[in-house]
Amino acid sequence: MVCASFIKPRLSLKIFLFLIATLYGCAAPRRVQIKPLVKASRAGVDITNRDAFTYPQVTVFVKGHYSAEVGDIASGQTVHLTFDRFTNSEGQTFDVATMTPEVIRVRAWFDGQAASRIYEVK
């Protein structure tokens, strides 16, 4: 009987730890993936939200270091950004006449985690 009472608390502890691990796994934030439609032309960049949820706090990057703040993009909404809205950390504006937008990245923030998608401009 002494042996059986020793096993019960140990078994209960294992079940308790399993339940905590399972609940923690369910409560962990999921990684959001975005799939916007991105079109670039000499006039600028069009970003269309093709997902069923809003993209919060969107920033669009051109050539990696030129960026433009967009704000939220609702599901189905298209936002047009002219290239003169893109600036780098030194305040210089992206010049479409002398530069080509080789890469465009769309980044949104979901519960403190960034989700982004990179597109090559052809």
pLDDT at 18: 61
pLDDT at 30: 65
Q: What is the pLDDT along the chain (122 residues), one digit of tens a residue?
A: 555 544 445 556 666 656 555 555 544 456 889 999 999 998 899 999 999 999 999 999 999 899 999 999 999 999 999 999 999 999 999 998 899 889 999 999 999 999 999 999 87
Q: Considering only CA atoms, which of 83, 75, 80 is closest in space to residue 56? A: 75
Looking at the DSSP assignment, which residues form a beta bridge with residue 79? Answer: 47
What is the C-alpha to C-alpha distance for residues 15 and 73, in angstroms, rounded to an integer?
Answer: 44
Indicate the pTM of the whole model.
Answer: 0.74
pLDDT at 64: 85
Amino acid identity of residue 122, one-letter, is: K
Q: Which domains does the chain have, with CATH numbers?
A: 37-120 (2.60.40)
The gap from C-alpha 70 to its chain's centroid, in whole angstroms, comes to 14
pLDDT at 28: 45
